[in-house]
Amino acid sequence: MTKNLKIAITAALEAGKAILEIYHSNDFEIELKGDNSPLTKADLASHHVIMSHLKTTEIPVLSEEGKSIPYDERKDWSQLWIVDPIDGTKEFIKRNGEFTVNIALIENQKTTIGVIYVPVLGDLYFSSKTLGAFKVKVDLDDYSIENLIRSASQLPLEREDKTFTVVASRSHMSPETETYVGDMRQKHGEVNLISKGSSLKLCMVAEGTADCYPRFAPTMEWDTAAGQAICEHAGFEVIDWNTKKPMLYNRAELLNAWFLVRK
């Protein structure tokens, strides 16, 4: 477990280096994929860096930017990595910094390791079911994986403002989400609403900055697997809206149902 966690952290940080090199240049080369979602040179650079590290584990990888893998091939995998080389490509293109590198290890459809790196902020979130969930600031020019793990703060962190806080998508605020926020105002009185891009929303719940994250709009498994791991290992739930149970992975349908992240 610890060996795989260290490999995943290294992969995320080295991918972050490749992403930032492109982010701080003007070499974006934006394309549109088949579903009209944007793809940049940075997505592909991150994918290749991550794959070069994860291949040493000899565990199969399902990546947003990798080749499509039929369910017949995946269904018997007891373990797999689920990767989003850049979660929040639209935020990357807007240059607002709200994008992440997501890497998760799944065993028997459940999260066992989660790593999320926020390249612009230098924030690293990581977790395992044995260690718990943590956050640490990273200097990409000078880091040691052992020191990062040793010096990280366990999640959730202490929070001063106790106002009930909902975090929601910056790009996908649905009418159902607005209704949910209204329901929370009825229940809790004053409610703070924070908008964020990418898996930062899951990280905010895991670190205790937000109380819940309702997602009543489409996401894919690679958008949520690493964040769900970090939330679960910090003591929170990621509930599938249809089954009312924790969201499972490596499904035949990679499109997630609506979900709710909460204590």
What is the domain-level CATH number for residue 211? 3.40.190.80
* Domain shared by 138 and 182, yes or no: no
Q: Final residue of a domain: which of 154, 182, 204?
A: 154
* pLDDT at residue 105, as a whole number: 98
* Domain shared by 26 and 142, yes or no: yes
* Domain shared by 253 and 202, yes or no: yes
Span 168-214, pLDDT tens digits: 876 667 889 989 999 999 999 999 999 998 999 999 999 999 999 99
Tokens describing residue 47: 């994918």
* pLDDT at residue 33, as a whole number: 74
* Domain shared by 141 and 80, yes or no: yes
Domain hosting 13: range is 2-154
Residue 96 sits in a domain whose CATH number is 3.30.540.10
State the Cα–Cα distance between residues 260 and 263, nearest whole angstrom. 10
Span 78-91, pLDDT tens digits: 999 999 999 998 88
Is residue 129 included in any domain, yes or no?
Answer: yes
* pLDDT at residue 79, as a whole number: 98
Is residue 159 included in any domain, yes or no?
Answer: no
Q: Which residue has the tokens 């599938």?
A: 240
* Domain shared by 101 and 177, yes or no: no
* pLDDT at residue 35, as a whole number: 64
Predicted confidence pLDDT, tens digits, the chain (263 residues): 799 999 999 999 999 999 999 999 877 677 777 666 677 889 999 999 999 999 999 999 999 999 899 999 999 999 999 999 999 988 888 889 999 999 999 999 999 999 999 999 999 999 999 999 999 999 999 999 999 999 999 999 999 999 999 998 766 678 899 899 999 999 999 999 999 989 999 999 999 999 999 999 899 999 999 999 999 999 999 999 999 999 999 999 999 999 999 99
* pLDDT at residue 171, as a whole number: 66
Q: Name residue 82's beta-bridge partners.
A: 62, 104
Q: Name residue 260's beta-bridge partners.
A: 214, 239
Q: Per the structure, how many domains does the chain have?
A: 2
* pLDDT at residue 254, as a whole number: 97
Q: Report the b/e string of 93-125 with b at 16+ CB within 10 A.
A: beeebbbbbbbbbbbeeebbbbbbbbbbebbbb
* pLDDT at residue 36, as a whole number: 61
Is residue 179 included in any domain, yes or no?
Answer: yes
Q: Name residue 255's beta-bridge partners.
A: 220
